[in-house]
Structure 1
Amino acid sequence: MSDTRRAAVLGSPIAHSLSPVLHRAAYRELGLTGWEYDRFEVDEAALPAFLEQLGPEWAGLSLTMPLKRAVIPLLDEVSPTAASVEAVNTVVLAADGRRLGDNTDIPGMLAALRERGVQQVERAAVLGAGATASSALAALSRICTGEVTAYVRSDARADEMRGWGERLGVAVRTAPWADAAEALTAPLVIATTPAGTTDALAAAVPERPGTLFDVLYEPWPTALATAWAERRGAVVGGLDLLVHQAVLQVEQMTGCGPAPLGAMRRAGEAALAAR
């Protein structure tokens, strides 16, 4: 392609984002020489004006916190996947000017799990109750045949998780964070908490753990992921999620595919190693 096409990731803070590394690696592999991908510090207040000033060269946007929900009223169409968790992380800017919102985090989670051989589980545990936890419940609604236990720090968070479970069709039981060590016996454990939160659980990893999906990618590996791997449990990391959701974004924004998963992952690993 000779004409310049543009895409970018928006959020606040945004300097840490690996999205430019991943998308640019995809463009190189796909031969999209006219494509550019940048990052912009944009908060909720600045988002409407940012969208309004975009020209016809813009193809798409990746969104991170705190914009995933704030963008919804500014869109012309929202996919059922994004609507199910009220979170949009992908905006495709159509040729006719429409703004189309989607969520690639949820299918990205499922793809990352499939890559480790996890197709279906009879029960699962979720550590945490933030925005990523609701996406985890949405993913589990498609592969978990039984109960999901969410370990949370407050009654309000417990109510939220049960509410998401009802909305997404998942049987959710909540338990206090003080009991989080018992979560580690589940066939699939999804940790959605900030850095350091699960470190104290590393000593409680069982002899034969199932699969751990820790959504962090920096710092990596976490203490819990290290202990899990030492016990020969399967570990899915935040970079796996980031790459799989970016693959879907590249394909939607460019119309080209399949996006080069391996090249994007290698680029992400190299960027993290250089930090």
Structure 2
Amino acid sequence: MTDAATRLLCVLGHPVGHSISPQLHSAAIAAAGLNAVYLAFDVAPEGFTAAIEGLVALGFLGANVTIPHKAAALAIAETATEEAEFIGAANTLYWDADGRLAADNTDAAGLMAVLGECGVTAGDPVTLFGAGGAARAAAVALGRIGAAVRVEARRADAAADVEALARRAGGQMADDDPPRVVVNATPLGRHGERLPEELMGLGEGQVALDLNYGPASPFLTEAGRRGAVAVDGIGMLVGQAEAAFARWTGQAPPEGVMWAAAAQVGP
């Protein structure tokens, strides 16, 4: 039940129709007994600033930000956490103790547990596909583990910048060894697209990690068929969502609630 005191939370992206963030956060809001609602808004890049201004005027409680707005979210905020500044992108907007619109990035923290569960360790050669906000967060998480990260992207300068970020986070220099881990940090595969052929066909002893979630992509399907560990992005989604919820509300979501909500949605 909503009333005049109900606070607004949301996710902003383009596209955003695939997002299950409303289900995760709505379950956590209900379990915690909070007077809030969480909605999804499809906002084109040219409308992002106006959307944030509108949310501020409405007194929103906070927002998640996804592709393609993560750099813009960091730029529009009045202040930012060290994590968001270091990554160079934000996925969470909230109000700080001084009432300023603040930016945070919970993606890298959300990915750390997933990488551990996949058995990624220091020195592992990793190919990271992409150079956007999700790739930057993945580079930081991989660097903190001590992986040797090589980045593949459309622009060589962007790839080099993300590789340098991974090293600043603690990663090792990449060499020409074949990857033990390939991470897809682009939207490719969400609608059945294949990754570049050199990234397909991972097999036994290798790890295919797709930061997308939902129906299995050709990348994950082929890797799993060949005996690789194939993991989608649901673990990262839940991890970053739990951290964002705590940012907005000052309390962790009830344990297991978001995972249960994700399981109910299914692939």
Q: TM-score, normalised by structure 2?
A: 0.82
Residue correspondence of structure 1 range 1-275 to structure 2 within 5 A: 3-32=5-34, 34-53=35-54, 54-55=56-57, 57-94=59-96, 96-114=98-116, 116=117, 118=119, 120-131=121-132, 132-144=134-146, 146-152=147-153, 155-173=156-174, 182-183=178-179, 186=180, 188-193=181-186, 194-195=188-189, 196-198=193-195, 200=197, 204-206=201-203, 208-218=204-214, 220-230=215-225, 233-260=228-255, 262-273=256-267
Render the CA deviation track for 1:52-76: whole Å, top value 9, x for unaligned.
3325752111011222111223212
Contact conserved, 2:150 with 2:174, CA < 8 A, in 1?
Answer: yes
Question: Using a 3 Å threshold, how does the CA distance of structure 1 residues 158 and 172 change in structure 2: closer, same or farther?
Answer: farther
Mapped to 2, the partners of 1:123 and 1:48 lie a distance apart of: 40
CA-based RMSD of the aligned residues comes to 3.0
Render the CA deviation track for 1:132-179: whole Å, top value 9, x for unaligned.
2222110011112x522334455444433444345545334377xxx9
How many Å apart are 1:235 and its aligned residue? Answer: 3.3
Question: Using a 3 Å threshold, how does the CA distance of structure 1 residues 155 and 40 change in structure 2: closer, same or farther?
Answer: closer
Mapped to 1, the partners of 2:110 and 2:77 lie a distance apart of: 22
What number of residue pairs does the alignment pair up? 259
Contact conserved, 1:152 with 1:174, CA < 8 A, in 2?
Answer: no
Contact conserved, 1:11 with 1:42, CA < 8 A, in 2?
Answer: yes
Percent of aligned positions with the same letter in both sequences? 28
How many Å apart are 1:227 and its aligned residue? Answer: 4.0
Contact conserved, 2:111 with 2:138, CA < 8 A, in 1?
Answer: yes
How many Å apart are 1:103 and its aligned residue? Answer: 0.4
After superposing the two structures, state which structure 1 stretch, 250-259 or 190-199, moved more.
190-199
Mapped to 2, the partners of 1:70 and 1:212 lie a distance apart of: 29
Letter paired with 1:128: F
Contact conserved, 1:4 with 1:35, CA < 8 A, in 2?
Answer: yes
Contact conserved, 1:201 with 1:224, CA < 8 A, in 2?
Answer: no
Mapped to 2, the partners of 1:36 and 1:166 lie a distance apart of: 40
- 3-state DSSP of counterpart to 2:260: helix
How many Å apart are 1:231 and its aligned residue? Answer: 5.3
Render the CA deviation track for 1:51-103: whole Å, top value 9, x for unaligned.
33325752111011222111223212211111112101001124643111100
How many Å apart are 1:26 and its aligned residue? Answer: 1.1
- 3-state DSSP of counterpart to 1:252: helix
How many Å apart are 1:21 and its aligned residue? Answer: 1.2
Render the CA deviation track for 1:23-65: whole Å, top value 9, x for unaligned.
1011122222x11111223234333333333257521110112
Render the CA deviation track for 1:93-144: whole Å, top value 9, x for unaligned.
2464311110011101002233x26473322312413212222110011112
Runs of 5+ unmatched residues, structure 1:
none
Runs of 5+ unmatched residues, structure 2:
none
Question: Using a 3 Å threshold, how does the CA distance of structure 1 residues 90 and 66 change in structure 2: closer, same or farther?
Answer: same
Contact conserved, 2:8 with 2:38, CA < 8 A, in 1?
Answer: yes
Mapped to 2, the partners of 1:256 and 1:169 lie a distance apart of: 30
How many Å apart are 1:252 and its aligned residue? Answer: 1.2
